[in-house]
Amino acid sequence: KDDKKKKEEEEEDKEEDNDDDEEAETEDGQKVSDPTLPLDVRLESSASIVKKAYSEVPSYERLIDAALHHPISHLHKECTLRPGVPVSPMLAKPTKSVQEVLKRLNGQRFTCEYKYDGERAQVHYMSGSDYSSTSSEEEGKGKGKGDGDAATTKVFSRNLLNTTEKFPEVPLYVKEACASSGVTSFVLDTEVVAWNNDTKQFVPFQVL
């Protein structure tokens, strides 16, 4: 019994050490909770942690609950992205010319992608177990449908509204694509577009 207790204590100590290793750091590599840091540095770093956590879990209720039970320096690992909870999307900044883009990026490497004429959508796919862990709480600014053990697909707008019922075809396509893939969950940041099956071409956004 003594050996078992000793082993449990060692495992607890190891978990505490891992928690310390995962604590957020400043740009200089110092622990945010370090009391020797100037107050303004600690406040600025803490604000950055909260902003990052909110970008992955845009729910004040979840953030406040996590902050009440964990140090701010650990908030980034308590509030992380998970399927079923909409994430604040990355939004583009319009520019007037290619020259303006090059100037703004200031020599940094970048890539480009085609701008589809559609509606921004965030598609969340969850297995039955993943869905049950989120369906008991209100996710986003609307309620979605799910069925127990089966995989569930939800669609959210750029404003985090649940638009699953607005695009009934999307869950069907996702289900078909994942039928034998072995995939259990994912989040897609995508664009929903209209498609003409006869002409095999995209249809203008207004058709949606």
Domain architecture of the chain: domains with CATH: 2-78 (no CATH), 98-207 (3.30.470.30)
Amino acid at the residue 72: I
Distance CA 183, CA 127 (A): 9
Q: Which of 4, 5, 115, 200 is catalytic?
A: 115
Average pLDDT, the chain: 78
Integer distance in angstroms from the first to the last C-alpha of the chain?
67
Active site residue 166: no
What per-residue confidence (pLDDT) applies to 123?
96
What stretches of the chain show up as alpha helix (H) in DSSP?
A: 2-21, 39-56, 60-69, 75-78, 98-105, 128-135, 169-178
The pair of three-digit structure tokens given for residue 19, joined into one six-digit string: 């928690």
What per-residue confidence (pLDDT) applies to 61?
86
Residues of the chain with pLDDT under 70: 1-35, 128-149, 208
Residue 207 dihedral angles phi and psi, to the nearest 5°: -65, -30
List 202's β-bridge partners, or say none: 195
